Amino acid sequence: MAPRRAPRGFFMGRSKREKQLNRKGNLHPDGLPRAGARGPARGDFMVFSAYPFLLVFLPLTLVGFYALRAAGRRRMSVNFLLAASFVFYGAWSLPHLALLIASILANYCCGRYVASSAPKERRRLAMLAGVVGNLGLVFWFKYLDFAGSNLAALAGADWTFRNIVLPLGISFFTFQQIAYLVDCYRTRDGERRFRDYALFVTFFPQLIAGPIVHHRYARPQFAALASERLNADWIPYGVMIFAMGLAKKTLIADPIARAIDPLWAAAATGDPLGAAAAWTAMVGYTLQIYFDFSGYCDMAIGLGLMVGVRLPVNFNSPYRAKSIIDFWRRWHMTLSAFLRDYVYIPLGGNKGGAFFRLRNIFLTMLIGGVWHGAAWTFVIWGAIHASLITLNHAGRLWLPELDRWRGPVADAVKRAALLGAVMIAWVYFRADGVSAAHAVLRGLIAPAAGYAPDPYVLALMAFGAALALFAPNSLEVAGYVEAPERPIPHECAHGARMLRPTPMAAAATAILLAAGLAVAWRPAVFIYFNF
């Protein structure tokens, strides 16, 4: 069934932006959004690496925020930060801003009741209603087309589904609010100030793609913003970390993306790929998504520090992991924690013996895969990771001698095997469809077919691989510690003095910012903005 073009509407419709997405490989050839791709948006200029954000929104926000604080209006500065966050999201889509505000109001009221002195059963029903409402919202915007189209195919029906535009960041702000409601039920400690709750949800450095922040983590920080002086040492650290993230995004991730996107587009149209093209596409995307997401996480942390808020670490050199379990302790760490606390444990966690434990692990990781997007490619990607992590846990249970195999050779073998499996899984994550993924995988063992990668791209990929596999990450370099109650040290956890706010560090930061700005005229949306 080929769905007909939908009429334009409040949350629906097509635009010139979709044609642009199609040229970038984010749409299927029939015009439907690629799995995980968002719909048309007006606010790409608010990407952290875009000139309007860097040269207009961010400076105005910082000037307004600190001007109010200098005038002794600390509470007003928090209100200003909330208003700036609404402006940030509204720049992407005004209708979706209305949806976000409605979601905040509904969850705030629900949380107040769930944390009240009402009978436990009523509080539980209210919590469940809130969770179901949030999941229903995500299902409507993210999964309705996918579910309906597959049901229609099974039934042999000719149903027409409207192309519902995915609100930016809906998976993040709804999951964050689900965690808040569950925590309100467990602790009976909800947020009384609507302003602080709204800022907890909309704080612009983490609104679109995380990290997923717990209310108990953000609450004392926003309260401190309204009543205490900021630590001035945080600002240069924030700029340093932001500059490193900007460089990762604009100098590594985006150039690699521009080089490999035509290869993925060719696979989507059925063109056979030779070995050189297929390996370039797979390895290139493995590095692109690493530096794209790592760069975003650095920039989010840096932006938070600039206004006195410390966000949790969400990325910690996952390609240096030696097992798939360790990988998920390093990749999208707050999502892994969310899945553990609000999916794995409610499913039963470790209770019931080895079989049920492994079943719960598999289901949790499969849900994590589907969370990323409504497409069979994400189901397969999730199933691959679910199978790997289940086998890893099973091996620890029944073959403990594998864990005792250590040393340089063992570490190299483990890391190589893990990277190979992760790269194959990334093929499904990136591909426009299952057939496109299989075209790339077949190409890995095909003849070269005349494709010659650009030497500059190969050199950039080699440099990126060296950074990802062997170099300290940016948070290790900066000595970042995420606990809000702890000051940022001048030393890393291992004790090496790496980066101080010195003239040399300032010069390095200025060079990274200048280099990032020099190529920011072609900003690309972060990959995780699509989820």
Positions annotated as catalytic residues are 372
Q: Which residue, 64, 467, 439, is CA-closest to 298?
A: 467
Contact 369, 339 (CB under 8 A): no
Total number of residues shown for the chain: 531
Identify the DSSP state of 310: P
Identify the DSSP state of 164: B
Q: Which two tokens stand for residue 408?
A: 């340089």
* Residue 331: φ, ψ to 5°: -100, 125
* Residue 445: φ, ψ to 5°: -115, 15
30-35: which pairs have CB atoms within 8 A and are 24 or more residues apart? 30/2, 31/5, 32/3, 32/145, 32/163, 33/163, 33/166, 34/375, 34/432, 35/373, 35/374, 35/375, 35/376, 35/377, 35/378, 35/432, 35/433
SS (HEC) of 190-234: CCCCHHHHHHHHHCCCCCCCCCCCCHHHHHHHHHHHHHCCCCCCH
Rounded Cα distance between 179 and 189, Å, is: 13
Q: What is the CA radius of gyration of the chain?
A: 23
